[in-house]
Structure 1
Amino acid sequence: MVDPKGTRQTMTALAEILRQRIAQQGPLNLADYIGECLLHPEHGYYTQQEAFGRSGDFITAPEISQMFGEMIGLALGATWQAQGAPKEAIVVELGPGRGTLMSDLRRIAPAVPGFDSLPIHMIEASPRLRKLQSDALPGVIHHSEVSQLPQAPLFLIANEFFDALPIRQFRRKSAGWEEILLGCDANGLCFGKAAPQPYPFLAHRLEDTAPGMIVEYCPALPSIVAELSQRMADHGGAALIIDYGDWRSQGDTLQAVCHHQHADPLAAPGTADLTAHLDFEALYNAASAAGLRPTRLATQGVFLERLGVTQRAQLLAKSLSGAALESHIAAHRRLTHPDEMGGLFKVMGLVPEGAAVPPGLEP
């Protein structure tokens, strides 16, 4: 099999399992490969590694500062109030990491009377992470899939959840697409390609791409968004989706991070985090098809500033000095500055038709 990206991996237990699978069943698409690397029961990254925080491979916004979770909590709480403060509502987080964001949200929740009494539900596939989340938030209710959530108003946050969903990659040809696959050669796992063919879910991308361009497609996104949207359309609620990405998938965005460094996606499978940029257009279309009203896309920095993060930062700074104050100032900048996470990360809200959009995402 041809290796267009020129990559090789070192031997791990998962690499050998994947080589045997390919030998028996043929090449894997990228979604299957990423799924195994992240969630293999014994050798997957999220089942065996400490991924989050300063001891892990990456630091998400909630780990940078408590202000992030506090702003999310106030935004969801205000949205819950605007919808009549339904007592049967639940607060939901997709991919909660160590539970840091929800811990900060729960601490600020009493500022919105009644919001702190709502039960917390989490979508988490990793048993190890479920344990960490339960330790941080006793009484949290876990589910493996969004289809298991109750039929109730959902007030939901998904921060860096969709970027971890496995993606497939396709390279444009003159009248179709060749899918990028994973196979084996004498040196180990390698990238290859399938014969070109049309794919209905990529038909609209023939208009804005040229031969040779790569687009990515997340197979799980439409069904997940449709499931959540159905509940919000039927019962009320709102969702805040925060992730790195842009309006439309363009180019190869698959990346691996190991020990805080960018790595080869095929090097040592199961030991690195694999992510790809979120295609917000696909999110918008899936929610709209299910009857929801997505908001316009905003940058994380603008969203947080509209919610009052700078005023919160100034208040917290009054009790700090020295290195702690410097760290606090740096955290505020990292979350909001256009050259850092403030510009890289985008925010989209999802609400039922006729409902007020979450604060910070007004037109």
Structure 2
Amino acid sequence: MSINLYSKMLQQRFYCRIKYFSRAYYTVKNHNIAKDENFMAKQLYSRIKATGPITIADYMKEILTNPFGGFYMHKNVFGSSGDFITSPELCQMFGEMVAIWCLNEWSKIGSPKPFQIVELGPGTGSLSQDILRVFQQFKCLNSCSLSLVEVSPYLSNLQGQRLCLKSNNITIPSSPFYKEGIAKEGVQVRWFKRIEDVPDVFSIFIAHEFFDALPIHKFQKTENGYREVLVDNDEKEGHFRYVISRNETPAVKTYIKPSECRDHLEISPQSLLTVNTISNKLESFGGLALVADYGHGGEGTDTFRAFKKHKLHDPLIQPGSADLTADVDFGRLKEAALEGDRVIAFGPVTQQDFLSKMGIHQRYKALEKIASGKQIEALRMSFNMMMDEEQMGKRFKFLSLVPAVLEKIVEKYPVVGFS
């Protein structure tokens, strides 16, 4: 089925929007943000001085989402001029493959309506933009809405400018969403701060590079058993260091399994809660879920790191100036999703494998024929970056979830990209 859909898509005149190896970006002016580069360091130093060392999870949450100085809250961190670049920003091909996957699996079960596309952490909005465009080409946007889960007011403005003809902030305190608009394709778009608040209808959940930014707890194996890694103040004000907890913390007692044997490990409780919410919604209201991120199957150890201007950066230096991230534990994520037999899980498979099975090689050749000059060079570099094993091809993984009630259907018609 996916091949037929893909062949039809190749007949449409889509043009690659790559320029100098990345997409063009909208800008949102905000003149009210403090320029103190040491704001977060001062904030954290005062907190730790008053209450003692904090967990890595608290450190990440504060640095990434603090309303006044959080990394994601007041600037565009994506693209060649930012701190890192993601596949949807590289080229439209990635978003098109994701859209075809969504269309294929949705049509396989009868194209239920009404339905919503839900993107978690939509970045600049480029992935949702590509998905809506492909759905529109197939005339599949009737009874469709787009729900975006985004905590950053700056990024939500960026997404609104990219996706909508016009968008408005909602000032009603009781409203589950804080912003709404109408997409250029005529689809209703709403912004939510929590996944729990998105409407309870048939949903296609997309989470691309979302789980890697959720807070983690770090644990170290010692002669006295597992202890948690914490962040403490160093001797000089505004400087920090790692310390090991003297005793078992609540996180050690809650999340370390008796069978665990790694010397070092990381666990993200918020990731487990999020995938649990997705599984509940899929079971109760129907839908599909596709998770794409860099990660491992459960063997990962010390992966906590920072990126600044596309280079590795010490997470403890100048907090708030760099992105903090950790590899996603797909093994733990899948295990949490499967609890209670609510859903069926497929994968994880590598990005190279998933995109190949979705037909990205054919799409690349089709775009190459209509591109010229620098577009061809940019197209080739973007394709290689997404597919090469030494770059994104092997490191990024895909995981899909479908309601358990569809077991007989997916046995007869396997989930495309994972068979």
TM-score band by shorter chain is over 0.9
Q: Which residue of 2 aligns with 1:201?
A: 255
Q: Which deviates more from structure 2 when the two are superposed, residues 213-222 or residues 321-330?
A: 321-330
Contact 2:294 2:328 (C-alpha < 8 Å) held by counterparts: yes
1:166 to partner: Cα distance: 0.8
Task: State the Cα distance separating 1:32 from its structure 2 match.
Answer: 0.4
Could you tell me whether the CA contact under 8 Å between 1:159 and 1:242 is conserved in 2?
Answer: yes
1:40 to 66, 69, 92: 66
Residue 305 of structure 1 and its aligned partner are, at CA, apart by 0.7
Q: For the residues of structure 1 that align with 2:332 and 2:349, how far apart are their CA atoms?
A: 16
- Which of 327, 335, 340 does residue 378 from structure 2 map onto? 327
2:207 is the alignment partner of 1:153: no
CA RMSD after TM alignment: 1.6
Percent of pairs with identical residues: 34
Structure 2 Cα separation of the partners of residues 68 and 133 of structure 1:
18
Kindly state the Cα deviation for residue 185 of structure 1 after the two structures are TM-superposed: 2.6
- In structure 2, how many angstroms separate the alpha carbons of the residues matched to 1:229 and 1:51? 30
Gaps of at least 5 residues in structure 2 are 1-35, 165-181, 183-188
Task: Find the partner of 2:91 among 58, 61, 65.
Answer: 65
Map 1:175-254 → 2, pairs under 5 A: 176-187=225-236, 188-197=239-248, 199-206=253-260, 208-209=261-262, 213-254=263-304
Alpha-carbon distance in 1 for matches of 2:290, 2:87: 14
**SS state at 1:24 partner:** helix
Q: Distance in 2 between matches of 1:175 and 1:181?
A: 17
Query: More deviation in 266-275 or 10-19?
Result: 10-19
- Counterparts of 2:316 and 2:193, CA distance in 1: 27
Q: Figure out how many residues of one structure are paired with residues of the other and give that number.
A: 349
C-alpha separation in 1, matches of 2:288 and 2:224: 40
- How far residue 263 of structure 1 moved from its aligned partner, in angstroms, is 0.7
Q: SS of the residue aligned with 1:101? A: helix
Deviations 1:137-179 (A, max 9, x none): 1222111011001111110110000000011100012452110
Paired position in structure 2 for 1:3:
none
- Return the letter of the residue paired with 1:152: V
Q: How far did 1:124 drift?
A: 0.3
Q: What secondary structure is seen at the aligned counterpart in 2 of 1:51?
A: coil
Aligned to 1:307: 358
Find the aligned partners of 1:200 and 1:192 in 2 and give their Cα distance. Answer: 20
The DSSP-based 3-state class of the residue aligned with 1:22 is helix
Deviation at 1:11, TM superposition (A): 7.4
Q: Could you say what secondary structure the match of 1:360 adopts?
A: coil
Return the offset for 1:205.
Answer: 4.5
1:245-270, CA deviations, whole angstroms, 9 ceiling, x for partnerless residues?
Answer: 11015221011111221111011111
Q: Taking structure 1 as reference, are residues 237 and 127 closer, same or farther at Cα in structure 2, changes over 3 Å only? A: same
C-alpha deviation, 1:49, in angstroms: 2.9
Give the residue type in structure 1 aligned to 2:156: R
Partners in 1 of 2:192 and 2:258 — Cα distance?
34
Q: Tell me the residue number matched to 2:8.
A: none
Task: Please tell me whether residue 90 in structure 1 is matched to residue 131 in structure 2.
Answer: no
**Letter matched to residue 214 of structure 2:** L
User: In the alignment, which residue of structure 1 is the partner of 2:19?
Assistant: none
1:168 aligns with 2:217: yes
Tell me, yes or no, if the aligned pair for 2:37 and 2:321 is still in contact at 8 Å: no
Cα 1:204/1:281, change in 2 over 3 Å: farther
Deviations 1:27-69 (A, max 9, x none): 1100000111111111110012321111111110001110000
- Matched-pair contact (CA < 8 Å) for 2:350–2:393: yes
**Maintained 8 Å contact 1:249/1:278:** no
- Please give the TM-score of this superposition, normalised by the length of structure 1: 0.92
| Paired residue secondary structure (2:320) | coil
Tell me if the contact between 1:176 and 1:199 (Cα under 8 Å) persists in the aligned partners: no
> Which residue is equivalent to 2:48?
22
Distance 1:120 1:194 in 2: 44
Letter in 2 for 1:36: E
1:319 Cα shift?
Answer: 1.2
Q: CA deviation at 1:110?
A: 2.8
SS at match of 2:402: strand
**What SS class does the counterpart of residue 220 from structure 1 fall into?**
helix
CA contact (8 A) 2:82 2:309 kept: yes
Hey, which bits of structure 1, 4+ residues long, moved more than 6 A? none
Tell me how far apart the structure 2 counterparts of residues 297 and 163 of structure 1 sit (CA, whole Å): 15
Q: Deviations over 1:106-148 (max 9, x none)?
A: 1111344424651110100000000111111122211101100
Q: CA offsets, 1:300-336, max 9 Å, x none? A: 0110010111111111111112221111111111111
In structure 1, the residue matched to 2:315 is 265
Match of 2:172 in 1: none
SS at 2:307 equivalent = strand
Corresponding residue SS for 2:73: helix
Tell me, in whole angstroms, the C-alpha distance in 1 between the residues paired with 2:234 and 2:337. Answer: 42
> 1:338 and 1:13 mapped to 2: Cα distance?
39
What pairs up with 1:344-363 in 2 under 5 angstroms?
Answer: 344-355=395-406, 356=410, 358-362=415-419
